[in-house]
Amino acid sequence: MAPQEQRFLVLFDFDETIISESSDDAVVRALPGQQLPDWLKQSYREGHYNEHMQKVLAYMAEQGVSKDSIHSAVEKIPPTPGLLNLLQYLQSHQQDFELVVVSDANMYFIETWLERAGVRHLFQKVFTNPASFDATGRLVLLPFHSHSCSRCPDNMCKQVILRDYLVSRQKERGGTPFQRVFYIGDGANDICPSLALGPRDTAFPRRDFPMHRLLLGMQQFKANVVPWASGEDIVDCLKKIIKER
């Protein structure tokens, strides 16, 4: 017999949503001088962050930063407040919630952190930029996909990912869609996927972060908006929704 399908889909951003800072910034501190040289900082072009990060990782390899140093820099990043309690709550209601990560970080950072925190098994899928170490010990980063959305950076539109996932999961679930979708994020690139949410869904922007500030200025937003400062705020909201059945 097929297992009971989960009724709700929960999507998480990673940097500054699951973890308390940008994983890229944390890893840069593994450099001998703990920061990037100005020429490299200044080479960043708006909308081309993935390309910039490829250069940063190449520079780190040239400076002799080892795989182990990168690994431990990622493992040391603290979670956001109350985040582990939120994941614990979702684990205790696994029959109701399917969890997915959608992040513009990279697979090596995300898998490393989730494994270390003991929560990787909770996530059905991680959508992010591919990254792995090559034979020379350099972490090689690639773009996730290409798309035609003018709002998003060239390597990732989270709305395209969300819409495709909802379609493919509905097929796999024998035509049953999720009853509700929850999107937890903090950044400007979390707005685009939130625009795909409907009136039964909820966007959880991290309070006073760019996603929250941008949502405050939006007139035509369909989904419910519940700002959070701690994972506990999200648990409180989900408890109410579960009671509604």
15 is a catalytic site residue: yes
Catalytic residue (choose from 15, 190, 201, 233)? 15
Q: What are phi and psi of 90, to 5 degrees?
A: -65, -35
Residue 134 corresponds to which tokens in the numbers above? 């090559």
Cα distances (Å, whole numbers) of residue 181 to 59, 85, 143, 202: 40, 20, 26, 7
CB 149 within 8 A of CB 192: yes
Name the DSSP class of 39: H
Quick check: helix, strand or coil at residue 89?
Answer: helix
96 annotated among ligand-binding-site residues: no
Catalytic residue (choose from 13, 190, 201, 233)? 13
CA distance 32 to 227: 38
13 annotated among ligand-binding-site residues: yes
236 annotated among ligand-binding-site residues: no
CB 155 within 8 A of CB 169: no
68 annotated among ligand-binding-site residues: no
104 annotated among ligand-binding-site residues: yes
**Which residues are catalytic, by number?**
13, 15
Annotated binding site for Mg(2+): 13, 15, 186
Annotated binding site for substrate: 24, 104
Annotated binding site: 13, 15, 24, 104, 186
